[in-house]
Amino acid sequence: MATENLSPALRTPASSRLYSKAHRGYGKRSAPDQRQPRDDDFMMLPERERYIAGYVDHLPDGAAMDIKTLAKNIPLYGQMAIGSALRALTVAGHLRHARCQVGESGSRWVTLTYWSRTAHDNEWWGAFTEAENIRVTQDAGAAPTAPPPPWAPTEAPATQVPAEAPVAPSEPVPQPAPPPPVPSVPQQRTPEPAPSGPSPAYLALAQLGRIEPRLALSAADCAVLQELATGWLDRGVNTDYLTHALTSGLPAQVDSPVGFVRRRLHDKIPPYLPTALAPATPSAPVRRLLVECTECGTPGPSGALPDGLCRRCGTPAPGAAPAILADPPVDRDIHALVGNLRRLLKTP
């Protein structure tokens, strides 16, 4: 008769808890200057925040730690409780959200999450985000060195020329014939530069007669008035502005076109406008990394979001009790509470 084996079977060793992996380059990012893990980490936090902080701290870098993923992996708390806990951890100095500009055109923004086991103040997080902004900006501006194309000419290896055999001393060495004398070439005269064409001021004065027949000028008149018209162009105006200023508001009859144009060139000369713009003032440094409010997601520099919260989310509503980190209230007797409510409804 076969004997039944009543010994219990060996238990399967518990596997490590699975975690949701974020897209490559996102998810949890460990901040520097952290102490080694200890048993008393997060002991100053309430129970809920301490539990969620311990879970997040054990996640590896790159793990998803958004509200929905944490609520899915932590069945004790829902999404609203997870969101409140992350807000409290941000105020405590363990968590920061940042919005980073990616891509060559900079048209796409992604959210990065920085986690620190050691709580840091606002000054430390501000210096850290500034350093991250400089690093991200430099990485975006650095262009990778492209390899040379396959059709690029390559330097041919130097061929080794065999050494000539030494000549015996008894044999005469033939001397090369002297080169024929080079005939002397007389020094060439440098050609003079061709005269340049008429100046823009001269052309503008010459075209006045075609635009307005009452201001027809001769070649001698244009040569005399050219210097005055050039003073207008040196002040930053163009030839169209000069022509319009000379031809607008003419009297019915102009007896002396050259005298009339000379008078207008003197009286209506514009103010000085330099053609070359002044050097632009140095603009503010490019920011490709902005701190993001943990509550509403509003981006901004680190100085404008103390404790990782914007002014609207960090300021309590008027009349509301200040939010303090405390343990959840003790569970009440639901049956006694419902019975009391029923007795109150029955009373006349």
Same domain, yes or no, for 131 and 234? no
pLDDT for 55 equals 92
Same domain, yes or no, for 251 and 308? no
Question: In 103-211, which residue ranges form alpha helices assigned H by DSSP?
Answer: 122-141, 200-206, 208-211
Under 8 Å CB-to-CB from 78, ≥6 apart: which residues? 71
Q: How far from 340 is each of 32, 74, 331, 348, CA to CA, in Å?
A: 55, 35, 17, 15
Same domain, yes or no, for 218 and 132? no
User: Would you say the C-alpha torsion 195, 198, 199, 200 has a positive or negative sign?
Assistant: negative
Report pTM: 0.48
Run of H or E residues at 67: helix 67-73
Taking the chain (348 residues) in consecutive chunks of 10 residues, what is each chunk's mean pLDDT?
A: 46 52 81 87 90 92 90 90 92 88 69 90 89 80 47 46 50 62 54 65 90 89 91 87 87 89 90 57 61 83 81 69 46 67 66
Rounded CA-CA distance 278/54 in Å is: 58
> Residue 156 domain-assigned?
no
pLDDT for 333 equals 66
Count of domains forming the chain: 2
Same domain, yes or no, for 127 and 53? yes
> Residue 225 domain-assigned?
yes
> Residue 111 domain-assigned?
yes
Run of H or E residues at 292: strand 289-292
Same domain, yes or no, for 229 and 263? yes
- One-character DSSP codes across 239-265: HHHHHHHHHTT--S--S-HHHHHHHHH
> Residue 308 domain-assigned?
yes
Same domain, yes or no, for 133 and 214? no
* Domain, as residue range, for 79: 28-142+290-312
Rounded CA-CA distance 213/299 in Å is: 65
> Residue 91 domain-assigned?
yes
